[in-house]
Amino acid sequence: MKQSFYGGVHPHDRKEATNRLAVVPLSTAPKQVVIPMAMHVGAPCKPLVSPGDTVRVGQKIAEIAGLGAPIHASVSGTVAAVEPRPYTGGGKVLSVVIDNDFRNTPGSSLTPHADPLALSPEEIVEIVKEAGITGMGGAGFPTHVKISSGLGKVDTMILNGAECEPYITADHRLMLEQGEKVIGGARILMKALGLQTGWIGIEANKMDAVDHLKSLVGDKADITVEPLKTRYPQGAEKQLIQRITGREIPPGGLPAHVGCAVFNVGTAAAVYDAVVEGRPLTERIVTVTGDSIANPKNLLVPLGTSFQHLIDEAGGFKADPDRVLTGGPMMGIAQYNLAVPVIKGTNAVLCLTPQEAAPEDKAHTCLRCARCVNVCPMHLTPVYMHLYAEKNRWSEVEDLRVMDCIECGSCNYICPARIPLVQSFRTAKFEIRGLAAKQKAKEAAKA
Ligand code: SF4
Ligand code: SF4
């Protein structure tokens, strides 16, 4: 039974600057790319190359070292350095730096498969793994792990085309311009999971994409393209599952616990590229937008290209930005160094003017209005979680289920006192995880 989710907010979608602009490649290729070894959930990869090595586009340059996905060169050229560099997650992370030779010499070791549905699930999982595919919606979970852990447990596959964050149009343009890959990728994922049918959920502010994908599915009718009410955070995994299937993921649970596997539409297209065309994940679509940007664009970008290069491609700043974010205004992360590179999960570079940005520095006292409670899609009590977090009372914050917070930012958005609630929940989660790790180490030492 379909069921709308609780809470949520209705921010202006602000997508008009780029939602009609076709994806374009960079007019000037980057001279150098910086490819971080940590672009996914799990352990950082281990580099396979050293300074002075020559590399080709699609060549594997880093191998997994635990949970993760391999990493490939996005340009051909020479490895200039393997060293820590700034990245979008904050701080520095070990990165492979490649000087571009501008020859685009191909070097993928993947084999194209004209009939992907003739492959076995195991073969598909292996190709997806070797292609280095991770969730393209931003979460960065290794896709081959999601498929293999869902085998035999999942009865519903959903592609997430909601793209509910304001400003971002990367998935919208992908669905319009490369819809065949999205549908083809969906069918490959269904085959890998042993499913005959699947769903694609798209917010109703993208009805052209809904209609286009419906026409591509055609008479086969194995995939249902479902328009979703435009309400943030409709694209959050738990909310999308509830809307499509009526199933509610229990606190602390995962989609597989209710028989579901959710993939971003960009992930499906990357799966198609890997399986059908033999291309590993080396590039992605990035929306460069915000009122500070002179010519907002949807760009096709080699991984490792700097934010500064993208901003230059979009005409530079026409007004000084108040802040530059990776991602949208609700869940995006502020960047303080424009040398940071595009990674597998970068869907937008958002440059907000002071007028567009919420005045973070003017937080007032909580008014006890409970608006944050009313909009929380996870049924949490942000006001109390924040009050305890302010006092470093982590066990009380944990009891209030802060670990279930999906950091959607709805409470921040609605709070009339402009209290930076999500920031305080991120800190609380960090502290709680740290305490748990310390406790575990203590117990291990005792044992
Ligand atoms: S508490 Fe977390 S899940 Fe709830 S509205 Fe705030 S950010 Fe979203
Ligand atoms: S919305 Fe803001 S002001 Fe209102 S109760 Fe929540 S934290 Fe307090």
Say if 440 falls within a structural domain. yes
416 in contact with ligand 2, CB cutoff 6 A: yes
Report which bound ligand comes closest to the CA of 382.
Answer: 1
**Given CA atoms 188, 189, 195, 197 in this order, what sign does their dihedral have?**
negative
C-alpha 111: how far from its chain's center? 27
Burial of 185 (0-12, 13-18, 19+ CB in 10 A): buried
Question: How many domains does the chain fold into?
Answer: 2
How far is it, in rounded angstroms, from Cα 41 to Cα 67? 7
Residues 140 and 246 in one domain: yes
9 in contact with ligand 2, CB cutoff 6 A: no
Residues 126 and 270 in one domain: yes
Residues 131 and 249 in one domain: yes
Say if 258 falls within a structural domain. yes
Last residue within a domain, chosen from 277, 305, 326: 277
pLDDT in tens, 326-370: 999 999 999 999 999 999 999 999 999 998 886 655 667 899 999
List the domain range (segments joined by +) for residue 178. Answer: 116-277
Residues 270 and 149 in one domain: yes
What letter would DSSP give residue 165?
S
Say if 416 falls within a structural domain. yes
Q: According to the model, what pLDDT value does residue 192 have?
A: 96
Last residue within a domain, chosen from 277, 298, 327: 277
Say if 94 falls within a structural domain. no
pLDDT in tens, 366-381: 999 999 999 999 999 9
Tokens of 53: 């090595």
Tell me the CATH number at 227. Answer: 3.40.50.11540
Last residue within a domain, chosen from 256, 277, 298: 277
CA of 232 to the centre of ligand 2 (A): 19
Look over the chain and give the mean of its residue pLDDT values, rounded to a whole number: 94
Cut 0.95: pTM above it = no
CA of 279 to the centre of ligand 1 (A): 37
How far is it, in rounded angstroms, from Cα 52 to Cα 80? 6
The rounded percent of the chain whose pLDDT value lies above 90 is 83
Confidence of residue 442 (pLDDT cuts 50, 70, 90): confident
Say if 375 falls within a structural domain. yes
pLDDT in tens, 148-166: 988 888 999 999 999 999 9
375 in contact with ligand 2, CB cutoff 6 A: no
Residues having CB closer than 6 A to ligand 1 are: 375-378, 380, 382, 405-411, 421-422, 425
